[in-house]
Structure 1
Amino acid sequence: MRDHVIAVDVGTGSARAGVVDRQGRLLCRREHPIEMRQIGDHIAEYDSEQIWTATCIAVREALAAAELSAERIAALAFDATCSLVLRDAQGKPLALACENGATFDTIAWLDHRASREAAEISQTRHPLLAYAGEAISPEMQIPKLMWLKRNRPDLWVKSGHFFDLADFMSWRATGSTGRSLCTLTSKWNFLAHEKSGWSQDFLDRIGLGDLLTRGGLPQEGVAIGQAIGSLTEKAATELGLGTHVVVAAGMVDAYAGALGVLGSIADQPDALEQRIALIGGTSSCLISFAAAPHFGKSLWGPFFDAVFPGQWLVEAGQSATGGLLNHLLRLHGEGGEPTPSRHRQVIERVQALRQTEGQDFAARLHILPDFHGNRSPFADPNLTGAITGLTLDSSFDGLCRIYWRACVAIALALRQILEAMERSGIRPERLHLTGGHVKNPLLVELYGDVTGRELVIPDTDDAVLVGTAMNAAAAGGLYPSLAAAGVGMAAPSRSRQPDEAKHALYESDYRRFLAMQRHRAELDTL
């Protein structure tokens, strides 16, 4: 009986695979690291074949640990970061760089090399930009491709396929060059609600009139919950699975998380409109759904059919949240490598110091968390972070004070984003949290208390994999629809109410936060 699925999540630093049953229970999970080549703070690249190899290792290990026959697997689905894979007409990697035996053919999602191109696109004020928050981010694929054509014409003339990473994984698994509606609508400026999803006028205006030909891009996408193909013999052998396994259209990782935490109400459109999925990892994404489109500056979307059929999705976010905390650990003399155990040590000491010092703990330290630009509400990749209130304290406790106030700053920025979403007509009553931030009790507490909203946390610590499994289950026929899979496989959750007294105390922090933003803007004009 084929009643299990495999979900694969390709994150910033690893590929994770989980074996999931029809009820949504994650039976086993395995992880394998992937290498990212970074130069400064703007260049980041992957080797896509290394990602595939890491995925195969993780899948085989997860299946073995679950002690399950490959015959029991009905379907497979991938989610991934919105990284850009470059291939030639024969499907071979187009090397941006070669180093230590690796061929770096993939521009990472967090790569900001195309900041200038993104600004140029935004300055066109093309009507299509209304569906991108009125400004294109350098993390989207179109500015990256504009950069490629300008700066690496040697690669452009050889190109045959441009893939979002999730679509590359599906192609590598099935041989199908079909693309997911999820990736096309959210990262490629494809308008799924229009008869012709691509705007040739827009592409011509920015010098990418030949994009569809060069990139092997289709005129239509494959919906989430639908199959894109079945495993080829080669892929089946590499993954340790059978060729009967159906492969679902791939998903952006954050959207898989949104499906994982909101799947239980997938058949309740009115309830969906009152919730926001908060996916917190290296960066953070806030995702909302509605029956009607909502527009707003710095809000990515609205995207039609990106996850749930007939629903519009709006995304907002922060470019560096968990990544900021990692950076601060590396930066401080008492920090070190940002391993889970090191984070736990810092968090435990923060909690102890808060108990001792109360609300005065690090109260004069203030941080702007835009160390990698600002997605929302300013849509400015060139904004920078700031810390005020520093002393000569270089001790471990000094690090803990900075770490705590960085967590506060991340939560204050979240509140500001929610206010921007409200101005666009979105009315979130609850935040559904998933991702690595679930494991950080400081962030969990602050997200509720600073925003004044109820926080819903799934009992599974991996709702991203569960959301991807829901996609696989629908595509593999274990459920008749994506909504049915969402309801049938959703994990139980617990709720945390905000502390109203603490919410009031954070008002002064929020006023200082806004003042620091004004001062930063003033300094930039001097």
Structure 2
Amino acid sequence: MSHFLGIDVGTGSARAGVFDHTGTLLASAKRDIEVWREAGDMVEQSSNDIWRAVCAATREAVAQSGVAPEAIAGIGFDATCSLVVRDRQGGQLSVSTTGDKRWDTIVWLDHRAIAEADECTASGHAVLNYVGGVMSPEMATPKLMWLKRNLPETWNEAGYLFDLTDFLTWQATGSLARSQCTLTAKWTYLAHEEAGWRRDFFALVGLGDLFEHGNLPEKASPVGAYIGQLTAQAAAELGLSEKCRVGAGVIDAYAGALGVLGGFAGDQQDIGRHLALIAGTSSCVMAMSPDPQPFAGVWGPYYGAALPRLWLSEGGQSATGALLDHIIRWHGAGGEPDAAMHAKIARRVAELRATEGDNLAARLHVLPDFHGNRSPLADPHAVGVVSGLTLDSSFDSLCKLYWRTAVGIALGVRHVLEALNENGYLIDTLHVTGGHTKNPLLMELYADATGCTVIEPLADEAVLLGTGMIAATAAGLFPDLNAACLAMQQGGRKRASNPKSSGRFDRDYKVFLEMHRQRRMLDAIR
């Protein structure tokens, strides 16, 4: 048994990949997941539907790989940081105002709990020192507060509360173990302290009975730790052997961080020069260091949330790929934002740039906070701004707006980078993975607009690779997660920044910062 299965559950699909002990991806498969949207920034899913997609993708990937099911020695899971609610018998409970029990999962990007997040921030509790000083509505605590206040019947019946990754390991093994990654990054668990839970914080925000409803352990399980074998039912549904071992998983972006930064697991000092950029629907940036680097506006520092004995700081942008999709739908010359449309726009942008050069849409500027500013402002109330519009409604005007939106997204990464480097990091290299690697405009901009060297992983599925590393660790092939990361890392292609572009993007960045300042001024007018 020398093969491993990585399972990645994103916002819209579940993917499964089969790896060998060198980290080579032998086969992968994907299944879509239902998403239910309600008014008021409410986004929900069904954990049963997610598990169905996981099982179908797994069976197809294993069949395509040619590996015998009994040769799959371990499984690693990653998933979005969504909240799953189950009753005391383990059945589904509704998190929806419709009352439909099928919708038992509040999706990570759901912003129904902004008011509750503000209350957490206003509490001034010490746990906020490890989330950048500001509670986000994307974290578990405000969502739980909203649930208790607005759906009291669901709250009273709840017997299990899971981050989605931990739900998947529970579904696979029956174990109530929770990952150090999920609890530390999203549930205010302080992994560096002997007593990780600050129960007084939950009492302060009206969740003093959380532990009566959540079945939460006192201690979190380190990433990759063996937590159990597949149950007979899970093995049958996945098409695998009951001897298959399951490891404590991670949030999806953290799997990407393992996949692209795993090669530096043995170099605790140099790893601080490298930033993981996991970029798809949204974007996450992750930096690691041997010492904590706390500061406002960036989540963390989280101890052991990815690699052991390292502190992790997480920033990000709440809508990036989703924003480019929105621009296409929004514009009169747009349409369905599928891969063909994105490629068509990129080709036309290249033609326009060949003619107009650096002056292409130079007066058009986009502040990309259409779904709030996750970092470095930590302001979920922030809104997007577009300056420089005209009456032009042609396809070329869409291409120009798309291009300048992509510039704004890259400048947002630069903004986060500056915050990190002003607070103890010395980052000069970006390791990019996710859907953005398929967008040539963004890949060029990440290098040129930030001035950093960009590394694109050779592994086509770096997020899946990270979960494969977890699977191999849980299976016992390697003595620890660091060893698995070093043995299975795949390297990457290097793209240097173009020094001739620095002046243009320095100017754009000055405008970008000025737009932030002017937005604050407008918001202050009463």
Measured against the shorter chain, the TM-score band is over 0.9
Distance verdict in 2 for CA 1:460–1:60, change over 3 Å: same
Partner of 1:141: 140
Write the distance in 2 (CA, Å) between the matches of 1:35 and 1:41.
19
Q: Which amino acid aligns with 2:303?
A: F
Partner of 2:268: 269
Write the distance in 2 (CA, Å) between the matches of 1:24 and 1:377.
34
Partner of 2:56: 57
Partner of 2:219: 220
Matches within 5 A, 1:256-405: 256-405=255-404
Matches within 5 A, 1:510-521: 510-521=509-520
Q: Are the equivalent residues in 1 in contact too, given 2:87–2:158 (CA < 8 A)?
A: yes
Displacement of 1:427 in angstroms is: 1.5
Partner of 1:182: 181
Question: Does 2:243 match 1:244?
Answer: yes
Displacement of 1:101 in angstroms is: 8.3
* Contiguous gaps of at least 5 residues in structure 2: none
Distance verdict in 2 for CA 1:85–1:101, change over 3 Å: closer
Q: Which amino acid aligns with 1:73?
A: I
Partner of 1:480: 479
Q: Which amino acid aligns with 2:347?
A: E
Write the distance in 2 (CA, Å) between the matches of 1:194 and 1:150.
30
Q: Are the equivalent residues in 1 in contact too, given 2:94–2:101 (CA < 8 A)?
A: no
Distance verdict in 2 for CA 1:105–1:517, change over 3 Å: same
Distance verdict in 2 for CA 1:399–1:102, change over 3 Å: farther
Partner of 1:18: 17
Write the distance in 2 (CA, Å) between the matches of 1:503 and 1:236.
54
Q: Secondary structure at the match of 2:454?
A: strand
Q: Which amino acid aligns with 2:151?
A: R
Displacement of 1:318 in angstroms is: 0.6
Q: Are the equivalent residues in 2 in contact too, given 1:98–1:104 (CA < 8 A)?
A: no
Q: Which amino acid aligns with 1:118?
A: A
Write the distance in 1 (CA, Å) between the matches of 2:326 and 2:210.
36
Q: Are the equivalent residues in 2 in contact too, given 1:368–1:387 (CA < 8 A)?
A: yes
Displacement of 1:276 in angstroms is: 0.9
Partner of 1:168: 167
Q: Secondary structure at the match of 1:483?
A: helix
Q: Which amino acid aligns with 1:397?
A: D
Write the distance in 2 (CA, Å) between the matches of 1:182 and 1:449.
32
Write the distance in 2 (CA, Å) between the matches of 1:242 and 1:334.
52
Partner of 2:455: 456
Q: Runs of 4 or more off by more than 4 Å in structure 1?
A: 98-102
CA shift digits 1:45-96 (9 cap, x unpaired): 0011000001111000111111221011000111000000000111111112
Q: Are the equivalent residues in 2 in contact too, given 1:261–1:463 (CA < 8 A)?
A: yes
Partner of 2:114: 115
Q: Secondary structure at the match of 1:315?
A: strand
Write the distance in 2 (CA, Å) between the matches of 1:44 and 1:120.
21
Q: Which amino acid aligns with 2:501?
A: K
- Number of residue pairs the alignment of both structures matches: 525
Write the distance in 2 (CA, Å) between the matches of 1:92 and 1:499.
55
Displacement of 1:370 in angstroms is: 0.3
Displacement of 1:40 in angstroms is: 4.0
Q: Which amino acid aligns with 1:50?
A: D
Q: Secondary structure at the match of 1:143?
A: helix
Displacement of 1:366 in angstroms is: 0.6
CA shift digits 1:299-339 (9 cap, x unpaired): 11111111111111110111001110111111122222221
Question: Does 2:41 match 1:46?
Answer: no
Partner of 1:93: 92
CA shift digits 1:176-216 (9 cap, x unpaired): 11100110100100001111100011111111111122111
Q: Are the equivalent residues in 2 in contact too, given 1:274–1:429 (CA < 8 A)?
A: yes
Distance verdict in 2 for CA 1:101–1:143, change over 3 Å: closer
Q: Secondary structure at the match of 1:451?
A: coil
Q: Are the equivalent residues in 1 in contact too, given 2:179–2:250 (CA < 8 A)?
A: yes
Write the distance in 2 (CA, Å) between the matches of 1:101 and 1:221.
32
Q: Are the equivalent residues in 2 in contact too, given 1:438–1:461 (CA < 8 A)?
A: no
Partner of 1:209: 208
Q: Are the equivalent residues in 2 in contact too, given 1:94–1:159 (CA < 8 A)?
A: yes
Write the distance in 2 (CA, Å) between the matches of 1:241 and 1:196.
37
Write the distance in 1 (CA, Å) between the matches of 2:45 and 2:249.
19
Distance verdict in 2 for CA 1:242–1:180, change over 3 Å: same
Write the distance in 2 (CA, Å) between the matches of 1:492 and 1:187.
30
Q: Which amino acid aligns with 2:355?
A: T
Displacement of 1:356 in angstroms is: 1.4
> TM-score when scaled to structure 2?
0.98
Write the distance in 1 (CA, Å) between the matches of 2:212 and 2:274.
40
Q: Are the equivalent residues in 1 in contact too, given 2:140–2:186 (CA < 8 A)?
A: yes
Write the distance in 1 (CA, Å) between the matches of 2:349 and 2:101.
41
RMSD (Å) for aligned C-alpha atoms: 1.3
Displacement of 1:102 in angstroms is: 7.2
Write the distance in 1 (CA, Å) between the matches of 2:126 and 2:78.
30
Q: Are the equivalent residues in 1 in contact too, given 2:95–2:147 (CA < 8 A)?
A: no
Write the distance in 2 (CA, Å) between the matches of 1:41 and 1:366.
28
Deviates more, 1:377-386 or 1:90-99: 90-99
Q: Which amino acid aligns with 2:283?
A: S
Q: Which amino acid aligns with 1:420?
A: A
Q: Secondary structure at the match of 1:97?
A: coil
Partner of 2:156: 157
Displacement of 1:39 in angstroms is: 2.2
Question: Does 2:420 match 1:421?
Answer: yes
* Contiguous gaps of at least 5 residues in structure 1: none
Distance verdict in 2 for CA 1:101–1:123, change over 3 Å: closer
Q: Are the equivalent residues in 1 in contact too, given 2:224–2:249 (CA < 8 A)?
A: no
CA shift digits 1:319-370 (9 cap, x unpaired): 0011101111111222222211211111111111111111111111111100
Partner of 1:80: 79
Write the distance in 1 (CA, Å) between the matches of 2:100 and 2:234.
23
Q: Which amino acid aligns with 2:415?
A: Q
Write the distance in 2 (CA, Å) between the matches of 1:60 and 1:249.
21
Q: Which amino acid aligns with 1:68?
A: V
Q: Which amino acid aligns with 1:462?
A: E
Write the distance in 2 (CA, Å) between the matches of 1:168 and 1:100.
21
Q: Which amino acid aligns with 1:281?
A: G
Write the distance in 2 (CA, Å) between the matches of 1:161 and 1:100.
18
Q: Which amino acid aligns with 1:516?
A: M
Q: Which amino acid aligns with 1:362?
A: A
Deviates more, 1:414-423 or 1:367-376: 414-423
Write the distance in 1 (CA, Å) between the matches of 2:25 and 2:393.
43
Q: Secondary structure at the match of 2:102?
A: strand
Deviates more, 1:252-261 or 1:302-311: 302-311
